[in-house]
Each structure stands twice: as C-alpha cells, then as structure tokens.
Structure 1
Amino acid sequence: MDFTDPSASALYEAVVRSGGDLVVGLDFDGTLAPIVEDPTRAHVHPEVPDLLVALSEVVRGVAVVTGRPVRQALALGDLDQVGSRINDLHRSFLVLGQYGNERWTAVDRRVVSPRPPAGLAGFLREVPSLVRRAGAPDAYVEPKGLAVALHTRRLDDPAGSFARLLPLVTDAAARHGLAVEPGRLVVEVRAPGMHKGLSVRRLAEEWSAKGFLFAGDDLGDVEAFTELRAMRTEGVATMAVCSHGGDGPEELEELADLVVDGPDGVVELLRALVHDLS
C-alpha cells in the first residue's frame, strides 16, 4: 500500500513486523459497513467476510468492536458464518458489542452480556418528551437492550435537529446516571464505565499483543485511538486508522495515524495487510 506520509508508512511497517503477534480491531458502522439512513440496512462491504478470514490466518486475533448490540453486528455482517470459518482454522475471532459490554467469540458462539443499566428505563420514558422539545418528534429511536440511540439522519434538518436534541439528552442522561456518546447525527445513551479504549486494552492483554491496528470512524473510537497512543509508549507497535468517508469528526482525525476513505479504504488497507503478512 502506498503512503504519502512517511510517518504513517513507518508505523504500518512496524505493525507488519509484529506479524503473528498483531491484533486487528475494527469498528462496524462507517468502517466495515457504510453509514446509511436506516441502521438496520448497514451491511458490510462485500469483500469483508473473506478478508476477515484471510486476516485471521496471519495475525494473533481479529475483533469487531462496535456500539451495536452483538446480535445486530452478527446478522448485518454475516459474522456468525465468518466466525465459523475462522474457528475451523483454529484462529481467534470475536465481536464486542455495545462498546465492549457484550462479548461473542467464534469458539463459544453465545452472547455474554450484563443487565441493562439502572436508569435506562426511566430515561426511555422521557424520550418522547425530549424529541418533541427538540422539534424532532420523528427522530428514529433505536433500543439496544443495554442502551438507546436517537438518530436524526432521516429528518428534514438532521444537523439542526441533532444540535437541539443533544443538550436535552445530555441533561436527561445525567439525571439518570447514564453516559452519552454523540456520533454522526446520532446520540447514544448507555451505562458509564465502558468504552472502546478499555476494550482495546483488554484485547491486547488477552491476546498478548505486540502490535495493534484499530480502525474506526466516529467519536466512539476516540478512546480506542487514545489507548493505542498509550500502548505505543509501552513498546507495542500500534496504528490508528480513521475511516471517515469524507465527513468524520476532527477529533478522531487528529488522533489518527492514517485516514482512509470509508469502508472502501479500510478494505484496501486490510487487503494490503493480508498480502504483507503472508
């Protein structure tokens, strides 16, 4: 793969040198699957399943780390079948859902999940009032079991609706002891205490990673990118890849070592990684 930035090239080469001790973590929406108006139709790039299988053969482990519930990611990405194929090769693959609160492995093939957070039921009762006060009564409300996401992408004024909704949701979430995760025209409310940075750290420890490449596209990936920087100071070869598709958050791009053009760019990078590690 050609890099215009010499520093990105050097980081990529270090990641490749970690070889069989490399862990690859991948966000779902905006990274493996394009951002779409209807989140129930966010299917992965057609090359992703075969690439994940091929990648698993040359690295220590592959993980999908997403804000989605695990079962959604499994269905939309055909990841259950991907896991079967990888398990047949005696390689490691897992899916962490809801930022790491849910876990599914290709070996166990069951979702391990905590109870819904205290306060979520009370917050959900407030949602109809919140969207009305924000002038966004038709905002799409997506229950996630352990969380709830409010999307404004389908509305006539998605950005304006989001700007009005976010402070109302933030205040209500605080009253119920919940965390708020803003994204691209979506705000998610969930239990505090878990984020992708913790997931990355735990994966690195579980798999004894000497290298870690993580790709993500939104504010929920900031903690993961920050953790990669900390791990780099500890001697782990790391690379943070921003899959922005042209409209990613500036905060994430500033932390990224490499910016690629959405799922197409991620697929190109993974294809190169498989080639360079084989």
Structure 2
Amino acid sequence: MTQTVALVTGAARGIGLATARLFHAEGRRVVMLDRDGAELGRVAKELEGALPMICDVSRPEEVDAAVRQIVVKCVRLDILVNNAGVADFGPIADTDFSRWRRVMETNLDGVFLMSQACLPLLSRQGGAIVNIASISGLRASTLRVAYGTSKAAVIHLTKQQAAELGEVGIRSNCVCPGPVNTKLALAVHSPEIRAAYHDAIPLNRYGSEQEIAEVIAFLASEKASYVTGQVIASDGGFDSTGVGLPALRPARTRQKP
C-alpha cells in the first residue's frame, strides 16, 4: 500500500487524526488538512512522511491551492476523507443566518468543494470518498437545526456522489458517528447529558475516535470494493432506540392564559 495516498480533512485532532494515524499504520502516504496550522504541524510530526497542509475547506481558493500541491507532491490520490466540520448547537430562535452559514460552509460546502476538486485525481485510477456526517443527520434532536441539517445534507450528497461517480470508478460512502469521547464532547457534554446518552445507547457507552476510524478505513479499503452509496451509523445502536434526550431539551416555560 506504500504507493496509495489518503487525504484527510480536519486531521489535526479527533476522528480525523485517528483516521490519519490508521492510514499511516496501513502503509499509506497521508495528506493532512486542517485550518489550525499550529496543531496540525505538531501532530503531523508523529507520522513519518505525512504531508500537512493548512486549508480552510469552506474557501474554494484554499481548496484549489491544496489540491494543486497534492498533484505536484503526491501525483495521485486514492482516498478522500471529508471529516472537517464545526459543531454549533443552539435553539432555532437563536440561530441567525450568519450562524447558519458558518455551519453550512464548513460541514456541507467543504465536503462539496473538496470532493469536486479531487475528482480528476481520484478518477485516474478509481478511488474512495468517505464523508463524515453524524447521527444528528439521521435523527432529529433539539438544538441542532443547523448542525443536524448540514449532516443530513452530507448524507444525501454522498448518495448523489455514489450514483454519479461510480462510472469513473469512485465509491462514496458515509459514516455517521454517534456520541464519541472527543475533547469537544468532554467539554460540552455535562454529566447529566453523558448519563442520558449512556442510558439511550444499547452498548451503554460513548464510542472512541479509534472505533470510528476503523469504520472509515474499512470503507476506504479494497475490502469494501463493492460498497458504495451506503450510510453507516457507528453509534453503539443509538439510532435504533428512538428520538431525543430529555437532558438535551431546553427548559420550557408555560405562559399563563
């Protein structure tokens, strides 16, 4: 596998970094994109031969510049993992248009822009796109009007890609992580929320970044050579158990008649 190249966006931390490390362990050359240049530079040193690139995937000019560098330095591209995303939760009433666009431009526009820019490289020998959505794209929940909608759109974009790009040998699949023990989750999930998730998840725990990376790596590999257009919830069974968590619902005040 030493000649294959895998590109991971949002690779400076979390699921993206875990995926980059797994691809590197498989013997692939890894291209790591992130807009946090300082953290990206630090973690990329761990992976010999990795190519770190500072890039905001929501900006077409930065995406195009990054792909031009990949053409020069790597010649080919076999795998694209669209992992970069932002988590912004809030009530519908408090989500103004600028907040909505901040979420959409990274979570949805970024997936579209990166995939489109990489098509010429991926189509040369066939390749795999793995888009990272979320369980919030499969089931509605409070406080996720922008985030959940962006991830639902990524799910459908994945199917559009599979329907159209199969003819040039590109497979496209989507992974929907459930609650994962990332630094972000640890920071924003209160003990009450964590307990509620544990009660609602059949496996009774959060997932790990490594567990999600394993699913991504499988879908990107030749072991999944006849798999495309699929949406895999790596969520401990959370999607099977119903909708909503009381701990995530804002307090309601009743107006007197």
Pairwise TM-score range, normalised by the shorter structure: 0.3 to 0.5
Q: Which structure has the highest strand share of the two?
A: 1
TM-score in terms of structure 1 length: 0.40
Q: Which structure has the highest helix share of the two?
A: 2
TM-score in terms of structure 2 length: 0.42
